A and B are shown apart, each in its own frame.
Chain A
Amino acid sequence: SQQGEEDPQALSIQEGENATMNCSYKTSINNLQWYRQNSGRGLVHLILIRSNEREKHSGRLRVTLDTSKKSSSLLITASRAADTASYFCATDDISNAGNMLTFGGGTRLMVKP
C-alpha cells in the first residue's frame, strides 16, 4: 500500500522557474527520501531527511519536513529541461525491522525550455 499522496500529480513550468512538490504520509518515520525517475527507468536517490531534521539542502534542491503535519516538500530552484521527470517521496517507517520504503504516488514534472 502507498504511504500517502503527492501533490500536485502533475506540474508544468518554464525553465528557470521553481518547482515545489508536496508529500503527505501517515505513520511515524525514521526518515523521508526523495527520488527521481526518468521515463520508467530506475529511481535515482536525491536527498534524505531524518525525522529530527526540519530542512535540508543539496545543490538546487531544498527539502522540508514537518513531522507534526506528516508532510514534506521538495523545492527545485532554477529548473532546467533536464529536471523533467517523475519525483517520488518515500518513507522509512519506524515500525520497519529492515529496509523497506513506502512510496507516494509521485509528481510528474515537465520543464519547458
Chain B
Amino acid sequence: KAGVTQTPRYLIKTRGQQVTLSCSPISGHRSVSWYQQTPGQGLQFLFEYFSETQRNKGNFPGRFSGRQFSNSRSEMNVSTLELGDSALYLCASSLGQGVWGYTFGSGTRLTVV
C-alpha cells in the first residue's frame, strides 16, 4: 500500500509570506501528526489530528496551525514566515493510538529567505 505522501518536497519562501504543506496518510490511518526538524532544536512535535480533531499541540506560536479533512489528509499552515521557520517538516500517520509505531513521510524542506 502507498506510504505517507508529503507535498511539496521542497519550498522556498520569503519572510512574511505564508505557506501550506500537505500530508496524505496511509489509507485507513486516522491519526496524522506533524514534526519540525532543525539542526539546532532537533525533532519537535507540532500537533496531532485524529478524525479531524486536534488532540495535541506542541509548544509553537500561533502562526503554526493545521487541520485535517474527512479523508484524513492533513495540512499545516505557517503564516508570517520567519527565517527560523526554515526546517524539514515531517508528518507521520498511525492507525490508532500509535502502539505499533508511526510511518513518516519524506518531509517538506522549507527554506525561508
B contacts, CB < 8 Å to A = 4, 31, 33, 35, 37, 41-45, 48, 50, 55-56, 58-59, 88, 90, 92, 94, 97-107, 109
Contacts and interface: CB of A to CB of B under 8 A. Distances in A.
A20 B73 CA distance: 37
B55 A101 contact: no
Given A1-B59, A42-B90, A100 B104 contact: no
B48 A45 contact: no
Contacts, number: 79
B56 A45 contact: no
9 contacts: A2-B44, A42-B4, A42-B105, A99-B33, A99-B50, A101-B33, A101-B35, A103-B43, A105-B42
Contacts of B59: 1
Determine the interface band of chain A, counting residues with CB < 8 A from chain B: 20 to 34
Interface in A90-104: 90, 92, 96-104
Nearest to B93: A99
A42 B56 contact: no
Interface string A67-106: 0000000000000000000001010100011111111111
